[in-house]
């Protein structure tokens, strides 16, 4: 199947100051993914430092995390590139092959894992947002998942923060509307817990992650 191989898609868009940019989209697999792990890890750390994640960042954890995708044949990792620079990425993996925190969450609710494909994250550098690049990444991702046999749903989870959180920027707006427009339903009672160290903290703390799901 074609999508098992590296695929390039070039899309023109307007960047800051109205400058026309050619953004390339590439599916990374196997050795190509392994060779890009450090660049992808730096991108994830940069984006997840922002609210609402406030992630301190740990390169050793990031390498281990990303190698999970490299070792799974049905995983997908699509990057957006401005020339040779990684500026965005989206990841996915069969839920039953993903992470124990997610698997435990589904099993506790007797929810089926087999037909669910997990969207790990979609990250994009701040200066490239609101230009359609994130939408294109997601569209490429969903198209890819639809060609994989046996999957009927896509699921992801996002961190849950209190509205009164002290580090919430005044201009912050969550992405619930973005996902609802693409057919996702928020499942407020399906919550996984992940631990990470927040910026300025000495120790890791647990964070609730609320699930969204969509039938495909």
State the virtual CA torsion across 132, 8, 33, 146 in degrees, nearest 10: 70
State the virtual CA torsion across 143, 76, 211, 133 in degrees, nearest 10: -60
Q: SS3 string of the chain?
A: CHHHCCCEEEEEEECHHHCEEEEEEEEECHHHHHHCHHHHHHHHHHHHCCCCCCECCCHHHHHHHHHHHHHCCCCEEEEEEECCEEEEEEEEEEHHHCCHHHHHHHHHCCCCCCCEEEEEEEEECHHHCCCCHHHHHHHHHHHHHHCCCCCCEEEEEEECCCCCCCCCCCCCCCCHHHHHHCCCEEEEEEEEEEEECECCCCCCEEEEEEEEEEEC
Q: What pLDDT does residue 68 have?
A: 93
Q: What pLDDT does residue 82 have?
A: 95
One digit per residue, pLDDT tens: the chain, 216 residues?
Answer: 334 333 445 554 555 455 557 899 999 988 889 999 999 999 999 999 999 999 999 999 999 999 999 999 999 999 999 998 999 999 999 999 999 999 999 999 999 999 999 999 999 999 999 999 999 999 999 999 999 999 999 999 999 999 999 999 999 999 999 999 999 999 999 999 999 999 999 999 999 999 999 999
Q: Which of these, 28, 104, 100, lies nearest to 66 by C-alpha position?
A: 28
Q: What's the token pair of residue 85? A: 């620079």
Q: What pLDDT does residue 29 have?
A: 86
Q: What pLDDT does residue 2 have?
A: 39
Q: What pLDDT does residue 7 have?
A: 45
- Provide the 10 A C-beta neighbour count for residue 85: 11
> How far is 194 from 204, CA to CA, in rounded Å?
10
Instruction: Give the chain's largest Cα–Cα span.
Output: 51
Q: What's the token pair of residue 3? A: 């999508």
> How far is 197 from 204, CA to CA, in rounded Å?
4
Q: What pLDDT does residue 20 have?
A: 53
């Amino acid at each position: 199947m074609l999508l098992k191989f590296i695929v390039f898609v070039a899309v023109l868009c307007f960047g800051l100051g109205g400058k026309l940019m050619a953004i390339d989209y590439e599916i990374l697999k196997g050795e190509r993914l392994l060779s890009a792990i450090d660049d992808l890890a730096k991108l994830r750390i940069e984006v997840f430092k922002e609210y609402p994640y406030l992630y301190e960042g740990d390169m050793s954890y990031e390498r281990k995390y990303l190698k999970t995708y490299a070792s799974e044949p049905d995983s997908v990792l699509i990057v957006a590139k401005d020339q040779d620079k990684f500026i965005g990425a989206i990841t996915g993996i069969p839920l039953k092959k993903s992470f124990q925190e997610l698997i435990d969450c589904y099993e506790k609710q007797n929810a089926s894992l087999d037909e669910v494909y997990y969207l790990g994250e979609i990250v994009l550098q701040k200066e490239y947002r609101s230009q359609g690049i994130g939408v294109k990444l997601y569209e490429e991702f969903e198209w890819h998942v639809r060609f994989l046999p046996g999957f009927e749903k896509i699921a992801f989870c996002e961190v849950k923060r209190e509205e009164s959180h002290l580090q919430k920027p005044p201009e912050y707006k969550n992405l619930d509307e973005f996902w609802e427009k693409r057919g996702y339903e928020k499942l407020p009672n399906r919550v996984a817990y992940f631990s990470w160290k927040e910026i300025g903290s000495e120790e890791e703390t647990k964070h609730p992650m609320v699930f969204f799901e969509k039938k495909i």
